[in-house]
Structure 1
């Protein structure tokens, strides 16, 4: 059985989602896991995260499964996704709607009328939003602010002065098959993860 299938079957059998498999120099096999997502919560409860105990449990089971399948590796490392978690499928995009993400396109979008985006640009950072097309179809876009030339963009969590004029917004729509890569933007907020849009605050 192929490595991907062995790891996927083992991780899923323990009740986790496989996020990524990487082979590194020196025989390191790195497996990234996450807890399954069952959809948005209406009570605003914080999302659970993978623990050290989760990683240890998956490590023990994977060591056994990889030995049975004869997979060649020197060292196994099982970890949680981290702050730059990759987004792989439709469910990942649903889960992280409203978050700031980094995307890399397979090909430049090209210049569009009224757009401030360079025609050959492939990498973008913005807030992920679900959008509906005129034909009823649903797609995705990222939105970011266009600060005036020479003016620094606001940092996440930074207070906005009432005197500061709001910057115009730029949006970029895309289909998932147009992406080479998508990840959560590695932004550290020491005040904790902000609630999802529409989530109710708890007392």
Structure 2
């Protein structure tokens, strides 16, 4: 399997050169069925439209073909992080403060490894979090294994689509 840090060093400058921020790189699968997933976002909107995905995919296809950093055959998948996005960077926890999330820690923090509650921001390298069961907790960012926002009405309201053009033109059969 490829080294994610090396892939990040190769991919992130290309994504940034196109004006986007890299959210996550993930290589998953087994046997002869691997997927290299690249999540990126427009820093202004926190989303990507399909044309953005295509632009990033074309750029990365050329770079990955030239560098050939992955021994196995794989599919390249470029996507927006989506509404219930993963929280992968420390500043994500500040940016999405006030929203509900799930966090899985690599090690026990305040007696637990799994948290569900509200993100309250960051303090230095720690995530400020109010867990539904144990209350206020400080989770060192270095110990976060996975974290993602939970789909709530507040998150939906905060993540309005870039465009709803054509939405009112949809017709149904009766």
TM-score normalised over the length of structure 1: 0.62
Contact kept, 8 Å, 1:130 with 1:138, in 2: the verdict is no
Distance 1:184 1:131, change over 3 A: closer
Give the 4+ runs in structure 1 shifted more than 4 A.
none
Computed over aligned residues only, the root mean square deviation of the Cα atoms, in angstroms, reads: 2.8
Point out which structure has higher relative CO (alpha carbons under 8 A, 6+ apart).
Answer: 1
CA contact (8 A) 2:22 2:41 kept: yes
CA contact (8 A) 2:127 2:140 kept: yes
2:35 match: 28
* Correspondences of 1:135-174 after superposition (within 5 Å): 139-145=126-132, 170-174=135-139
**Structure with greater strand share of residues:** 2
Distance 2:131 2:137 in 1: 9
1:138-165 Cα deviation digits (max 9, x unpaired): 853222456xxxxxxxxxxxxxxxxxxx
The equivalent of 2:90 in structure 1 is 90
Q: How far apart, in 2, do the equivalents of 1:107 and 1:87 lie?
A: 18
- 2:114 aligned residue (123, 137, 161): 123
Pairing 1:61–2:68 present: no
For residues 115 and 75 of structure 2, the distance between their equivalents in structure 1, rounded to whole angstroms, comes to 35
TM-score (structure 2 length as normaliser): 0.71
Residue equivalent to 1:193: 157
How far apart in 2 are the matches of 1:138 and 1:19?
18
Structure with higher Rg: it is 1
Report the counterpart of residue 20 of structure 2 in structure 1: 16
**How many Å separate the matches in 2 of 1:194 and 1:65?**
35
Verify the 8 A CA contact 1:85 1:183 in the aligned structure 2: yes
Q: Describe the superposition over 1:170-190 as per-residue Cα deviations: whole angstroms up to 9, x where unpaired.
A: 2222221232222212x1539
Which moved further from structure 2: 55-64 or 169-178?
169-178
Q: Secondary structure at the match of 2:82?
A: coil
**Kindly tell me: are residues 123 and 23 of structure 1, through their superposed partners in 2, closer, same or farther at Cα, counting changes over 3 Å?**
same
Q: Which has the higher helix share?
A: 2
Question: Are 1:50 and 2:48 counterparts?
Answer: yes
- After superposition, the Cα gap between the structure-2 partners of 1:191 and 1:89, relative to the gap in structure 1 and judged at 3 Å, is closer
